[in-house]
Structure 1
Amino acid sequence: MKLNVVISVLLILLTVSCKSVEAKKETNKPNIIFIMADDLGYGDLGCYGQTKIKTPNLDKMAAEGMRFTDHYAGSTVCMPSRASLLTGYDQGHASVRGNPVWTQSGKPVNLKPSELTVANELKQAGYNTAIIGKWGLSEGNTESNMPSEHGFDYFLGYKKHGHAHHYYWDTLYQNNEIYLLEGNDFKTKQGKYTHDVFVNEALNYIQKEKNQPFFLYLALTIPHLEITVPEESKEPYLNLGWPKRKMNTKGHYKNDAEGNTSFAGMVSRMDRDLGVLFDKLKEYGIDENTIVFFTSDNGPEYEKKDRFFNSNGDLRGGKRDLYEGGIRIPFIARYPGKIKAGSVSEHPSAFWDFLPTACDLAGVEPTHKDINGISLLPELMGNKENQQKHEFLYWEFNERQGPIQAIRQKDWKLVWKLEGEPELYNLSSDIAESNNLALQEPEKLKEMLEILKQVRTEHSEFPLETRALALRKRKNAK
């Protein structure tokens, strides 16, 4: 009997021990925070060369983590870019390949109801999931395709990207229900600045979920037009002798009268608030078990032409271009004790790499094996020799001047406008894409054009025909 009792006790202890190890393993899954600015340019942060706007907290994040020099957005405008981030597909294979009105039918294309996102994958891996800020993937009159249908346990923010054009908008959504900001009036810019609402909600969420693995997608709207910010954020930039940029205050965007101080104040306000978020991770004791990513959804719009802040850096173009200024973006990752402090990566990567990277961090395999993304975890952890590389990266842009297609293969870049001549650049010697080598490098051009034939699946709403032709067909069909 005594032997049986001893065996029973040992079995109980072994079971408890196994459960304890299993629970510890579950707990040790890193929290994942992905922070996205809106229309922030490659050169808008100090760590990427900005000299006028102060961004000490994001500069510190880069000093404590890894700064990527060759990271790309999913697209050059917000809706398809965000779709690529969430689903792991590039613009040759994504369901969402353009902003709402630029489809063949004129009806917006949203994520498919069954379409898996990184939130679905992490939820299956035991994570609590949230998006706070700009969703922008439920356009038109539909009530469906809310974040809850794509793996997010919690949502507070803008449903449509048009609503996110206003920082004093009164109607947000909390999960699937309308969330009114009483007293907000976007026309007079009265009430709560929505950026502040999102930051406070993110801080509350982190405090609430700090004892279990969580994924937070913090989709901020700074510094997208409209250019406006509370007065205290402008103060550091007043009386510096800057040129005054007069803004349109009566149109769709309710801009402040002077743009430069407001733009700088917006970026610095975001940086200030992210500093608070970083401090809270330390205060809650979860800093070392949290990986934070920071990026932008595409290139700059406010400074696409005016170069006072040099938001594009040395890059050509901005938002709505497939030149580097439209798609190459800041990308920083920080994971204390795991990512080497002050490291810099020149590895070419893109938004569709985030889903497999997040899965790798969570210890699971992506459900779909045909995604275009490749996990960046080896690169992040300093194992560069084990980092798989893309054969090429592909984008397309479907608006009035499109379709435009672009491929990057190693240092070579092809930009192809449907009704124009091919443009071929070598980024290693011509980061500004100022010297078209199409005539000098016919063999390379031929190779890139052959790749272009293989890069996309057909999409009835985004055919390879000019948007102007699509608009004429739609008009004639009425």
Structure 2
Amino acid sequence: MKRLKVISLLGLSMALLLSFSGKLMEPVAAKKPNIIFILADDLGYGDVGFNGQTKIKTPHLDRLAAEGMSFRQHYAGSSVCGPSRAALLTGIHTAHATVRELSEWSLNGKPADLLLEDITVAEELKRAGYKTGIIGKWGLDEGGTTGNALAQGFDYFYGFRTHREAHHYYPAYLWKNNDKVLLPGNDCAHKVGTYSNDSFTSEALGFIQAHKAAPFFLYLPFTLPHNELTVPDDSKQPYLNLGWPERPMTVAHYHHDPDGNLAYAGMVSRLDRYVGQIMTELKKQGIDENTLVILSSDNGPGFDNGFFDSNGPYRGGKLQLYEGGIRVPFVARWPGHIKAGALSDHASAFWDFLPTACELAGVKPTTPIDGISYLPTLLGKPKAQREHEYFYWEVNEREGPIQAVLMGPWKGIKRYEKPFELYNLRDDEGETTDLSAKHPAIVAKIESFMTRTRTEHPEFPLTKRKALY
């Protein structure tokens, strides 16, 4: 008995010793990866080389795709910035979301802000020990209250708080956390001073350097290539004297450069340069292989008149719910985990990012969401991938309320005071042939679902309205 007791005490002492020395008896979990989500603004599906762009050069984005996985059917949260970004951050689509439009298109002009009860991906990742930062266009703090990025799980913020602030590339100020940082050398009208996205990149590099030792989540929403169309001359240089048609621009709210085609190409190329700088920094800091980098766009293109084929093979663009307005470029790179050069036809959307990040971090979403993690697809395990039964979008600007639902190959679009449209994307990805007359049962099913799944919101009814300011 004494011998057993001694062994027992020795075992307990050894266990305590191992515990206090940090050598736990249980297997140590793998190191959590850093996560960087780079979001372009109004970048079309066809604006990048890995999706077929030939006029604009995007070597760093193409390398990202060559070293990672591209999704061919990835959808934005909406066809306009605010609600799209809200879906990305909360995992909830516009049938149920707090933010379904921009503030000026709400019924009473109330700020379209995230609420304190909204749980963002940053809040989820903080629970898992991540340091979190947002650098660039936030656009979800129109009222200056609950939508503040620091109130939504981010440890650090630098950039534009509102979407209108982000309309200009040489702003008079930017925000650092809750402080307004004046930029006295900047002049929007004359386009002099510091180009805002150059500052975002510098801040992003600093954030990576400061947090290289701990898992971090960096949300990096650039404002390129959104109007206004302006970029420093060095980014336009490669496109001079190519015989392109000029596209004269009218200066009003936006202080465009004289030639829109040159400016647009230069803006996409400058975005590409920033991505290259980010990737170089990850290698320099020795964290390249433990960092998942994702790049996408908040909605379809808002500028192209067909010269660049910015929407690729798809119909429509920004503010529309045809594929060109919501199907966006998507590439993910994580060396040693994601197969290089992989292509996926898995249908996914912005609201899937939150559960994906949670799965990576080893936590479960706090509240019910609409998203499904696409981590199995990224890791090359398609048999483990759950699929969506449907996708839902709505937008209510200019053309009146529009709803769209995707169920398998069937895409239904309900436009204000217009006949219902039905397309089979498997046979007609360009949405050229309306099949609603041939398939009334499918139309009825989708229309019924649109009504059932949507929750009412006092500021975002499905009624025709004009912008309030």
Shorter-chain TM band: over 0.9
Aligned equivalents of 2:25 and 2:52: distance in 1? 46
Equivalences for residues 85-234 of structure 1 within 5 A: 85-140=88-143, 142-234=144-236
Aligned equivalents of 1:77 and 1:176: distance in 2? 26
Aligned equivalents of 2:324 and 2:66: distance in 1? 24
Equivalences for residues 379-394 of structure 1 within 5 A: 379-394=377-392
Q: Which residue of 1 aligns with 2:369?
A: 371
Equivalences for residues 43-82 of structure 1 within 5 A: 43-82=46-85
Aligned equivalents of 2:255 and 2:96: distance in 1? 36
Moved more, 67-76 or 268-277: 268-277
Aligned equivalents of 1:149 and 1:159: distance in 2? 13
Aligned equivalents of 2:241 and 2:397: distance in 1? 40
TM-superposed deviation, 1:25: 3.4
Secondary structure, in 3 states, of the residue corresponding to 1:101?
Answer: helix
Secondary structure, in 3 states, of the residue corresponding to 1:248?
Answer: coil
TM-superposed deviation, 1:386: 1.1
**Which of 393, 396, 404 is the aligned partner of 1:395?**
393
Aligned equivalents of 2:20 and 2:61: distance in 1? 43
Q: Contact 1:401–1:467 (CA<8 Å) still a contact in 2?
A: no
**Which of 404, 407, 410 is the aligned partner of 1:406?**
404
Q: Which residue of 1 aligns with 2:430?
A: 432
CA deviations on 1:62-116 (whole Å, 9 max, x unpaired) are: 1111100000000000000001110110000101000111111122221112321
CA deviations on 1:243-280 (whole Å, 9 max, x unpaired) are: 1110112x000000011111111111111121111111
Q: Contact 2:86–2:99 (CA<8 Å) still a contact in 1?
A: yes
Q: Contact 1:53–1:268 (CA<8 Å) still a contact in 2?
A: yes
Q: Which residue of 2 aligns with 1:264?
A: 265
Change (3 A) 1:286 1:440: same
Aligned equivalents of 1:278 and 1:189: distance in 2? 28
Q: Which residue of 2 aligns with 1:287?
A: 288
Change (3 A) 1:133 1:24: farther
TM-superposed deviation, 1:418: 2.9
Aligned equivalents of 2:29 and 2:184: distance in 1? 44
Q: Contact 2:19–2:25 (CA<8 Å) still a contact in 1?
A: no
Q: Contact 1:294–1:333 (CA<8 Å) still a contact in 2?
A: yes
Aligned equivalents of 1:143 and 1:410: distance in 2? 40
Moved more, 45-54 or 270-279: 270-279
Q: How many residues align?
A: 465
Q: Contact 2:158–2:174 (CA<8 Å) still a contact in 1?
A: yes
Q: Contact 2:299–2:326 (CA<8 Å) still a contact in 1?
A: yes
Q: Which residue of 1 aligns with 2:279?
A: 278
**Which of 238, 247, 250 is the aligned partner of 2:249?**
247
TM-superposed deviation, 1:455: 1.9
Aligned equivalents of 1:17 and 1:372: distance in 2? 43
Secondary structure, in 3 states, of the residue corresponding to 2:47?
Answer: coil
Residue segments in structure 2 that go unaligned for 5+ positions in a row? none
1:14 aligned to 2:13? no
Aligned equivalents of 1:187 and 1:271: distance in 2? 25
Moved more, 383-392 or 102-111: 102-111
Q: Contact 1:88–1:355 (CA<8 Å) still a contact in 2?
A: yes
CA deviations on 1:362-421 (whole Å, 9 max, x unpaired) are: 0100001x2100011111111111111111000000223221000011111000013111
Amino acid paired to 2:317: G
Amino acid paired to 2:459: E
1:310 aligned to 2:309? yes
TM-superposed deviation, 1:13: 3.7
Secondary structure, in 3 states, of the residue corresponding to 2:123?
Answer: helix
Aligned equivalents of 1:196 and 1:61: distance in 2? 20
Aligned equivalents of 1:77 and 1:158: distance in 2? 17
Change (3 A) 1:22 1:40: farther
TM-superposed deviation, 1:143: 4.5
Change (3 A) 1:123 1:439: same
TM-score (norm: length of structure 2): 0.95
1:415 aligned to 2:413? yes
Q: Which residue of 1 aligns with 2:361?
A: 362
Change (3 A) 1:456 1:136: same
CA deviations on 1:175-209 (whole Å, 9 max, x unpaired) are: 11111223111121111000000001000100110
Change (3 A) 1:108 1:21: farther
Aligned equivalents of 2:407 and 2:102: distance in 1? 26
Aligned equivalents of 2:268 and 2:17: distance in 1? 55
Amino acid paired to 1:396: E
**Which of 231, 236, 239 is the aligned partner of 1:237?**
239
TM-score (norm: length of structure 1): 0.94
Secondary structure, in 3 states, of the residue corresponding to 2:405?
Answer: strand
Amino acid paired to 2:94: Q
Q: Contact 1:234–1:261 (CA<8 Å) still a contact in 2?
A: yes
Aligned equivalents of 1:234 and 1:21: distance in 2? 59
Amino acid paired to 1:215: F
Aligned equivalents of 1:75 and 1:254: distance in 2? 26
Change (3 A) 1:21 1:326: farther
Q: Which residue of 2 aligns with 1:448?
A: 446
Q: Which residue of 1 aligns with 2:87?
A: 84
Aligned equivalents of 1:8 and 1:457: distance in 2? 57
CA deviations on 1:325-366 (whole Å, 9 max, x unpaired) are: 100000100010101111111111100000000000001000
